[in-house]
Structure 1
Amino acid sequence: MKRLHILKAVLILAAMSLLLLSGCGGNIVLKQYKEVTADAPTATIKTTMGDIKVVLFPKEAPKAVENFITLAKDGKYNGIRFHRVINDFMVQGGDTDGLDGMGGQSKWGTPFEDEFSDNLWNFRGALSMANSGENTNGSQFFIVQAPASTITEDFLSQMKAAGWPAQVIDKYKENGGTPWLDKKHTVFGQVIEGMDVIDAMVKVKTDSNDKPLEDILINSIEVKEASK
């Protein structure tokens, strides 16, 4: 993946053009860059390398947020590894079966469907569902680490041709991210504190499967649900 994800990006950007052109009508509000209000739901992922605080988006991704909150409150993520870290890409964890990417169950015990919103994109810092294909969400998630330097002019040209909205393209250019994962992986949160922890994670030594040689663990996840 480390060597191939850029090539995959080129192919997927072209393949997704009709999907994006047909799915981005109306007004877009980039929720990931809105001020976080005091009543917003948040979660603090406490890891062996430091804390990562995210804001959650239950309106746009209700099932993904409910699933994450329930598993977190039930302690299902406690002691689970970040089993895959790739510099200029992302960090992945949340396999509640402890199988390092081969397992993990949703709160319902079965996979649940994707939830895509034109207000949420795989920008740097996005918290998104990992999956093995369409509508196969379980417990695993990833956090996008790719910085602005990874979004080349060629990427931007492809995105424009494929139908990404102008304001979305501008944010990718400014902040970075993984646009080839848009409409493929459900975004349900955004890092608001602790990107330095993510940046440190992707610098650790890994094996040939991008697994850290020394475990990076989730100690616990503290959830603050939305005020009612």
Structure 2
Amino acid sequence: MLKKVLILLMCLVIPLSFAGCKNNKGSGSSSDAEIDQFAPPAKGETIAIMKTSMGDIKIKFFPSVAPKAVENFITHAKNGYYDNVIFHRVINDFMIQGGDPTGTGMGGESIWNEPFEDEFSEKLRNYRGALSMANRGPNTNGSQFFIVQAPSDTITQDWIDQMKSNKFPDDVVAKYKEVGGTPWLDNKHTVFGQVYEGMDIVDKIAAVEVGANDKPVKDVRILGIEITTVP
């Protein structure tokens, strides 16, 4: 019951809107190649090792689908922009959010010093473990991001029925049911990466005690983000 209440409360903050999810694509969706969001990264592929005060999280990227979001994150990471930045908003069974150097949820900017456009695609979804851009509305991406933490048991029959009624592909509905995630954020927040190792750390961060505005009572920090390649 608590999980249902939490999801309903979040829908008041992030309006539920599946309309247009099938066809509304951003500039990063031109590639025709199939993408397996959950496949491990290939040899030579660029990855990020996010070193947090609670452990390491390893992330792969999707530059063919969301090139600007990937470039923005990797450049910020290499420049140390995210070093010692806190996860300022944490909601268990939903997501963990960071990337704001001010730690308030109101700051941060892109590497271009201005917001950049959304890069939506049918190829990537806000499944559990997705790395997505936080925003204030359409085409307002800056530096903030979140990692989807919602487990499979948050995908209730109500959500399944909503996805089906809004013509989500059968395989997408099945995957959400299998792994969890936040389907109402598809076509609202650009997915540009996926955690492939360290979801146990994401779960630990999501479970910390929080206070006002869902901010952890004790800071959880990104110590640094190493950008490297798979050997």
What TM-score comes out, normalization by structure 1 length?
0.90
Name the count of aligned residue pairs. Answer: 221
Select the residue among 148, 155, 159 that pairs with 2:152.
148
Conservation of the 8 A alpha-carbon contact between 1:41 and 1:57: no
Q: What's the secondary structure of 1:20's corresponding residue?
A: coil
Asked if the contact 1:28–1:118 (Cα under 8 Å) also holds between the matched residues in 2, the reply is: no
Q: Are positions 1:81 and 2:86 aligned together?
A: yes
Q: Which residue of 2 aligns with 1:4?
A: 9
2:192 is paired with a residue whose SS is strand
Q: Distance in 1 between matches of 2:214 and 2:24?
A: 34
- 4+ runs of 1 displaced by more than 4 Å? 6-9
The equivalent residue for 2:74 is 69
AA paired with 1:64?
A
Gaps of at least 5 residues in structure 1 are none
Match of 1:22 in 2: 23
| Contact 1:52/1:191 (<8 A) preserved | yes
Shift of 1:49: 0.4
TM-score for both structures, normalised by structure 2: 0.89
The separation in 2 between residues aligned to 1:22 and 1:192, in whole angstroms, is 28
Amino acid at match of 1:40: E
- In the alignment, the residues of structure 2 paired with residue 214 and residue 150 of structure 1 have an alpha-carbon distance, to the nearest angstrom, of 26
Whether contact under 8 Å (1:81, 1:100) holds in the other structure is: no
Aligned twin of 2:54: 49
Q: Which runs of 5+ in 2 are unaligned?
A: 26-31
- What is the deviation of 1:29? 3.6
Instruction: Point out the more displaced range, 217-226 or 104-113.
Output: 217-226
Q: Which residue of 2 aligns with 1:123?
A: 127
Q: What is the CA–CA distance in structure 1 between the aligned matches of 2:198 and 2:56, rounded to whole Å?
A: 6
Preserved contact between residue 83 and residue 212 of structure 1 (Cα < 8 Å): yes
2: CA distance, partners of 1:161 / 1:41: 38
Structure 1 counterpart of 2:113: 109
Give the drift of 1:145.
0.2
Confirm or deny: 8 A CA contact 2:41 2:230 kept in the other structure: no
Query: Please, which of 165, 168, 192 is the counterpart of residue 169 of structure 2?
Result: 165
TM-aligned CA deviation for residue 119 of structure 1: 0.8
- With over 3 angstroms needed to count, the CA separation of the structure-2 counterparts of 1:184 and 1:101, relative to structure 1, is same
The separation in 1 between residues aligned to 2:11 and 2:175, in whole angstroms, is 19
Q: Provide Cα deviations, 1:156-199, integer angstroms capped at 9, x if missing partner.
A: 01101101111111110000000000000000000011100010
- Whole-Å separation in 1 of the counterparts to 2:167 and 2:23: 9
| Code of the aligned partner of 1:134 | P
Please name the residue that 2:220 is paired with.
216
